[in-house]
Amino acid sequence: NCKKVTAKLFIWACWLLNVKHTDCIDLLLGHMTDLIHTEKDLVISLKDYIKAEESKLEQLRQWAERLDKLTDTATKDPEGFLGHPVNAFKLMKRLNTEWNELENLVLKDMSNPSNMTVQRLVFPDDEDQTGAGKALLRLQDTYKLDTDTISRGNLPGVKHKVFLTAEDCFELGKIAYTEADYYHTELWMEQALKQLDEGEVSSSINKVSVLDYLSYAIYQQGDLDKAMMLTKRLLELDPEHQRANGNLKYFEYIMIKEKEKEANESVASTDEQTGKKVKTQKRGPPKDYLPERQKYEKLCRGEGLKMTPRREKKLFCRYSDGNRNPYYILGPVQQEDEWDRPRIVRFLNIISDEEIAKVKELSKPRLSRATVHDPQTGKLITAHYRVSKSAWLSGYENPVVARINKRIQDLTGLDVSTAEELQVANYGVGGQYEPHYDFARKDEPDAFKELGTGNRIATWLFYMSDVAAGGATVFPEVGASVWPKKGTAVFWYNLFPSGEGDYSTRHAACPVLVGNKWGMYEI
C-alpha cells in the first residue's frame, strides 16, 4: 500500500513502521521506475494526439482549399452558378450534410467554440435537400435526360460545369426510394454503381450499400431475375449481409411458387410470334395524376404544334399606340403576335433593366413559397405542382411599381384599380407551375373572394430574365410555347366578352432546366 501515497508520506510511513530508511528508499525507487514507464506512455499518447490533430488539420486544410476555389467561382456569378441544377443540389447537400460533418470534426477535442453552430441555424435542412433532389428528378423526366448526362453536367447553356459524384447519385436514389419511386431509385443507383465500377473512390458509400437499394428497387418493379442476380453479387462482396441473405431466400421462394403455378396451369405466357416466355415488364415512372403530362412536357422541350402556313400569315408585328393613348402615339411600343387562338401578343422592350433591378430589390426580402387558390375554400395554400417563390408589390409603395401599373393600363385599356397587386415570381432549380387556369371556373365561385377583385379577365406577364434552358410558358390545349425574353411581356384574355372562361388559355410554366427565371404578373 506504500506505493499509493506520495513520496513524502511514504518516507513518514516507513519511519512510523520502524522500517529501515534504506529499504524505504529502495521501495520508493521501485515505485519511481514505474512512473518512468508511465511518463513514457504519456509521451506516446501525446505524440498520437498531435498526429491525430495534424491529420485533422490536414483534412480541414484540404476542405478549405477545395471550398475556397468553389466559393470564389460561385460568388463571382451567383445566379449563373446556381442556374445549373446540379450546383443547386450539391449546395443544399453540402450545407445540410457535409458542413455538419465538418463542424463535428472542428469541434472534436477542442475547447474553443466555433461559430459554425450559430451559422447552421440558417443552413438548408433535410426538406430543402430533398426538394432539390426532387427538382433534379423532375428535370430528368421533363427534358428526357439520362442519368449519365446529368451526372457529367452536360446540360445546355451551362456556365459552370459540375459533376455528380457516386455519393451524389446515391443520395438522389435514396430520395426517390423514400418516395417509393423505384423507377428513379433504379436509375440513380445504377449510375452510382457504374461510377464505382469505373474506379471512382468514395469514402462514404460502397458497392454493397448501392446494390442493397438497387436490387430491392428492381424487385419492386417486377424484374425478379435481375433482382436475384444483383443480390448474389452483393453477397459475393459481403457474404454475411443479413438483409441480402433474407431477400435471396425470399426471391427463391417466389421463383419456386411461380414455377409451380405455371406447371399447374400447364400453359406459360408466351409471345405469339417467337414462342418465348414473356418477361415481366417494368412499371416505368410512377403513375401520373396529370392527364396532359406528355403533351405538356413535349411543349416544354420545344416540340410544340407547328402552325399551318395559312395561320402563320395571320400573325403580325406592329407598333402599338395603346388604342390612341397620347403617350404612346408619340412613342409607340413594338408588339408581335405569338399565337392566334387564343390570341397571345408579346410587347418588346416594355420594361427597362433599371425597373427590373428595382422590382427585384423590392421583392427579394419578401419572397416566400408561392401559393394557389383552393377551389373548395377559396383560401391560399401551397401546392406540389407550383414550385416557385413569389412576392406582391403595391403601386402606392414605390413610383416604379406605380409607373408599371400605369403602363399596363394604358396599353391594354383595362382598369388596373380592380386588378390584383403585381406578383413577382422567381423560379429556381426545377421551378415550375403545372397546367392551370388563371380564371375561376363555375364550380369555384369563391376562388378570389378574399382578394375582392372578381374573376380574372386577362393576364399580363413580364419576363425579367433570360433563361438558358427550359422555363417556357406553354398552352397544352392549343400546343403553343412562349419562351422567356428579358424586357418583354406577353398578354392574353382569360375570359370571353360574355364573361365565360376561355378554356384554351390553360397554361403552365415549364421547369427551369438551366438558369434563373424572374417573372411578374398582373391579373
What is the signed CA dihedral for 484, 489, 495, 498, rounded to 10 degrees? -150
Please say if the pLDDT value at position 173 is more than 80: yes
What is the rounded radius of gyration, in angstroms, for the C-alpha atoms of the chain?
Answer: 34
Phi, psi of 182 (to 5 degrees): -75, -20
> Is residue 497 pLDDT above 50, yes or no?
yes
Question: For residue 119, what pLDDT is reported?
Answer: 53
- Residue 97's pLDDT is 82
Cis peptide bond upstream of 484, omega within 30? no
- Res 3: pLDDT: 47
Whether 280 shows a pLDDT value over 50: the answer reads no
> Residue 276: pLDDT above 80?
no
Nearest-angstrom CA–CA distance, 154 and 200: 19
Grid cell digits, residue 380? 391560399
Q: Report the C-alpha gap between 317 and 314 in whole angstroms.
A: 10
Query: Residue 469: beta bridge partners?
Result: 514
How far apart CA 417 and CA 522 sit, in angstroms, is: 11
pLDDT in tens, 64-109: 888 888 888 888 888 888 888 888 888 888 888 877 777 777 766 5
Q: Is the pLDDT of residue 287 over 80?
A: no
Task: Over range 420-428, report the average pLDDT.
Answer: 91
Sheet-wide strand order for 333-339 = 317-320, 333-339, 344-347, 488-493, 458-463, 517-522, 422-427, 389-393, 368-369
pLDDT above 90 for 430: no
* pLDDT exceeds cutoff 70 at 41: yes
Model pLDDT for residues 335-387, shown as the tens digit of each residue: 999 999 999 999 999 999 999 999 999 999 998 876 665 655 556 656 665 67
Measure the CA–CA gap between 192 and 211, rounded to whole angstroms: 10
**Is the model's pLDDT at 410 over the cut of 90?**
yes
Spatial separation of the C-alpha atoms in residues 149 and 168, rounded to whole Å: 14
Of residues 222 and 35, which shows the higher confidence score?
Answer: 222
Q: Distance between CA atoms of 117 and 33, rounded to whole angstroms? A: 47
pLDDT mean over 32-46: 72
Mean pLDDT (whole number) for 254-263: 83
* Cα diameter, the chain: 126
What pLDDT sits at residue 43?
80
Q: How many CB atoms lie within 10 A of CB 433?
A: 21
Predicted confidence at residue 278, as pLDDT, reads: 41
Q: State the pLDDT at residue 370.
A: 66
Across 22-26, average pLDDT? 49
- For residue range 431-487, list pLDDT tens digits in order: 888 999 999 887 665 555 555 557 899 999 999 999 999 999 999 999 999 999 999
- What cell was used for 165? 459524384
**Is the model's pLDDT at 519 over the cut of 90?**
yes
Q: Is the pLDDT of residue 6 over 90?
A: no
pLDDT value at residue 268: 44
* pLDDT tops 50 at residue 4: no
pLDDT at 397: 92
Q: How much is the pLDDT for 510? A: 94
Q: C-alpha grid cell for residue 22? A: 534504506
Mean pLDDT over 164-193 rounds to 96
Q: What share of the chain is helix, strand, coil (3-state, %, to 5)?
A: 50, 15, 35
So what's the pLDDT on residue 34? Answer: 65
Question: Helices (H) and strands (E) in the chain — how many of each?
Answer: 18, 18
CA-to-CA dists, residue 223 to 183, 191, 216, 513, angstroms: 12, 18, 10, 32
0.85 exceeded by pTM = no
- Whole-number mean pLDDT of the chain? 83
Residue 198 has pLDDT above 90, yes or no: yes
The percent of residues in the chain predicted with pLDDT above 90, rounded, is 49
